[in-house]
Every structure is written in C-alpha cells, then in structure tokens.
A = this chain, B = another copy of it.
C-alpha cells in the first residue's frame, strides 16, 4: 500500500492526523516525565517499594499507549489492507500478537 511507505526513505510509514497525533505525543511526554520522576526518586534515596510501584504505573501507561496504537492500526491499516484484498497486514498482526501476549 502506497500510504504505508514513507515518500522520503521508502520504509513503512503511517501519517497520524491532528488529534490522534497530539494525544499520542501527550501520552509519551507524560511517560517521559514519569521516568525522570523515578530518576529523582533514586537520587533522593527513596524507598524501594515506592519506586517499584511507580515503575509499575509507568509500565501500565506504556501498555495503555500500545493498546491505543494497536486499535488504531487495526481499524485503519489492517481494515484497508483486507478491503483491498491483501492478507499481509493480517499475518503481521497475528505475528505481533504472538509477541504481545506474553
């Protein structure tokens, strides 16, 4: 699919529209801030269990990010590929789920 190729580097690519793009970037900035927060906790000799709980929360935030991205991928890229008669995106999705469902 042409839409999945970047015009410059010719690798796989997907353009995300305004709202979707902004929400994804906001999530990532928040997660980046949380990581910096954990570094500060280590610097300040904070208690192990408190750090572990905070790192768990970040892990959940990353997982929530991946769920959003995967749902959007399925509802756009995968559906378009199947509608165009393709099976490549379906196979790729199944491969990815094998890795994500640990």
User: Which residues of A are at the interface with B, using a C-beta cutoff of 8 A?
Assistant: 4, 6, 11-16, 21, 24-25, 28-29, 31-32, 35-36, 38-39, 42-53, 55-56, 58-59, 62-63, 65-67, 69-75, 77-79, 82-83, 87, 90, 92-94, 96-102
Contact B66 A94 (CB under 8 A): no
Q: Is the CB of B99 within 8 A of A53?
A: yes
CA distance A32 to B101 in the complex (A): 22
With A35-B31, A59-B62: A71-B49 Cβ-Cβ less than 8 Å: no
Q: Which of B48, B52, B82 meets A79, CB within 8 Å?
A: B82
12 further contact pairs, Cβ within 8 A, besides A6-B45, A62-B62: A15-B45, A28-B38, A28-B42, A35-B35, A55-B62, A59-B63, A59-B66, A63-B102, A74-B90, A75-B90, A82-B82, A82-B83
Known pairs A79-B82, A101-B67; A96 contacts B52 (CB<8 A): yes
